[in-house]
Amino acid sequence: MTEPPSTSPAAPRLLGAHMPTAGGISKSLISGKAIGCTAIQLFTGSPRQWHHPPLDPEVAAAFKVTKAETGIAFTVAHDSYLINLAAPDSEILERSRKAFRRELDRAEALDIPWVVTHMGAHLDSTEEAGIALLVESLRAILEETEGYSAGIALETTAGQGTGLGYRFEQIARVMEGVGPHPRLGVCLDTCHIFVAGYDIRTKAAYEHSFGEFDRLIGYDALKVIHCNDAKKPLGSRVDRHEHIGDGEIGMEAFRLLVTDPKLVHVPIILETPDSDTMHAVNLDRLKRLAASQSLGIRVKVRLFGHFSDLSDTVEEVDLPANSTVADLAKLLGERDARLSGLQTACRAAVNEEYVQSTAVVNEGDEVAFIPPMSGG
């Protein structure tokens, strides 16, 4: 038997989750490996404290050894929640800049290439002033850490309160203000951009929102993706992460993301709830979505009656090989809840012949969902 020709790049997609560090930072690598991560994110210090004891060189050495042993290919640090590099209060600003330099010091010592930071909040000041302070902070920190490998990844935010970074334009302005720098990048969080108003639920919406990202910031700057579904609706500007496919965003956006050839080189990190029990489940969901393309088939779907008003009446859909008509109906229902009736209300026809819902569909088939008819 010959292998089908592969169009995927040699390196597989780096995929993982934010892992806890209870019991030592190396634990994040070990528990990540245990659930099948090839990438992990961690806090290198307590995220709710300003001061951390200096990193023990032995701990740093052990982390690197464990990284090699586990084969985790990509690590990324997330900074402390207390840090606000746009703080109008000069004392908090100085404390934040110092703390962030320590974050970079620790990342450098651990060979972690990026520290993700939220862009801060302008609080009682203006957006304009906040962005100016943030630019100043980033310039100073990059200058003071010249020669480091560890860089700063600005995270897209949900737009809660006076937080900066919920519009791609704001991030673009900060990056422009700092000037091009190899150690300044961006982390895109799917939950954050969605609640900030960037829809990614359909192919058209996904392409529009990511097109905006590319136009304003550029894919080259994208260093890591946080993959989270959202508990709160589009544009709500409320940041509550949900399990992949279970929230307001839904499965289709994540399928588009993990199969997007333009982003295949960008590591993906889950920050979904219930890490102990659910990280493995969410990771598996992303892996299945990614596999659905390489092993999958493409069929043409036709919808009629009121369903024809809800979606494109003719649509190409990718799904895993050996899927049945019922699987296809379920997938369409998951992508758009208004189509959930396809499973219960419709008969199906494959290539213009009625079939049972257990019929397997094949590459290139035309599958029509036929609601109760009313000809005559």
Partner 1 sequence: MGFIVSEPIDVRAIEAEVSQQSNGAVCTFIGQVRTRSRGRDVAYLEYDAYVPMAEKMLADLVERACSRWDVTVALKHRIGRIELGAASVVVCVGSEHRAAAFEACRWCIDTLKETVPIWKKEVCPDGEFWIEGEDAVKAG
Mutual angle of helices 251-258 and 275-294, in 10-degree steps: 60
Which of 308, 311, 324, 357 touches partner 1 (CB under 8 A)?
308
The residue type of 85 is L
Mutual angle of helices 26-34 and 57-70, in 10-degree steps: 10
Residue 81 lies near partner 1 (rule: CB under 8 A): no
Binding region for partner 1 (CB under 8 A) out of 35-43, 56-64, 328-336, 349-357: 349-357
> For partner 1, which is the closer residue by CB, 63 or 307?
307
CA 253 and chain centroid, separation: 10
Alpha-carbon span 169 to 197, nearest angstrom: 13
Residue 359 lies near partner 1 (rule: CB under 8 A): no
18 is catalytic: no
> DSSP code of 6?
P
CB 334 within 8 A of CB 251: yes
108 is catalytic: no
In the complex, least distance from residue 301 CB atom to partner 1, rounded to whole angstroms: 12
Residue 309 lies near partner 1 (rule: CB under 8 A): yes
Burial tier of 3 (Cβ tally within 10 Å: 0-12, 13-18, 19+): exposed
Give the Cα-Cα-Cα angle 359, 331, 297 (nearest 5 degrees). 60
Residue 4 lies near partner 1 (rule: CB under 8 A): no
Q: Which of residues 117-136 bind partner 1 (CB under 8 A)?
A: none
78 is catalytic: yes
What does the buried/exposed string (b/e) look like for 194-224 if buried means 16 or more CB atoms within 10 Å of the residue's CB? bbbebbbbbbebbeebbeebeeebeeebbbb
Which of 305, 311, 324, 359 touches partner 1 (CB under 8 A)?
305
Pairing of the two strands 366-370 and 222-227? unpaired
122 is catalytic: no
Binding region for partner 1 (CB under 8 A) out of 138-146, 223-231, 232-240, 346-354: 346-354
> For partner 1, which is the closer residue by CB, 263 or 370?
370
58 is catalytic: no
Alpha-carbon span 306 to 63, nearest angstrom: 58
Residue 344 lies near partner 1 (rule: CB under 8 A): no
> For partner 1, which is the closer residue by CB, 82 or 349?
349
214 is catalytic: no
Binding region for partner 1 (CB under 8 A) out of 102-110, 123-131, 148-156, 300-308: 300-308
What does the buried/exposed string (b/e) look like for 97-110 if buried means 16 or more CB atoms within 10 Å of the residue's CB? bebbebbbbbbbbb
CA 12 and chain centroid, separation: 17
> For partner 1, which is the closer residue by CB, 22 or 373?
373
Residue 352 lies near partner 1 (rule: CB under 8 A): yes
306 is catalytic: no
> For partner 1, which is the closer residue by CB, 1 or 373?
373
In the complex, least distance from residue 337 CB atom to partner 1, rounded to whole angstroms: 16
> For partner 1, which is the closer residue by CB, 186 or 348?
348
48 is catalytic: yes
Q: What is the DSSP string of 314-367?
A: EEEEEEETT-BHHHHHHHHHHH-GGGTHHHHH-EEEETTEEE-TTPBP-TT-EE
CB 41 within 8 A of CB 18: yes
Residue 20 lies near partner 1 (rule: CB under 8 A): no
208 is catalytic: no
Residue 345 lies near partner 1 (rule: CB under 8 A): yes
Residue 306 lies near partner 1 (rule: CB under 8 A): yes
CB 224 within 8 A of CB 267: yes
* Catalytic, out of 97, 102, 106, 118: 118
In the complex, least distance from residue 158 CB atom to partner 1, rounded to whole angstroms: 32
> For partner 1, which is the closer residue by CB, 6 or 344?
344
Residue 22 lies near partner 1 (rule: CB under 8 A): no
148 is catalytic: no
CB 286 within 8 A of CB 227: yes
CA 325 and chain centroid, separation: 30
Give catalytic residues, as residue numbers: 48, 78, 81, 118, 155, 189, 192, 226, 239, 241, 271
Can you give the binding site for partner 1, defined by CB under 8 A? Answer: 302, 304-306, 308-309, 345, 349, 352-353, 368, 370-376
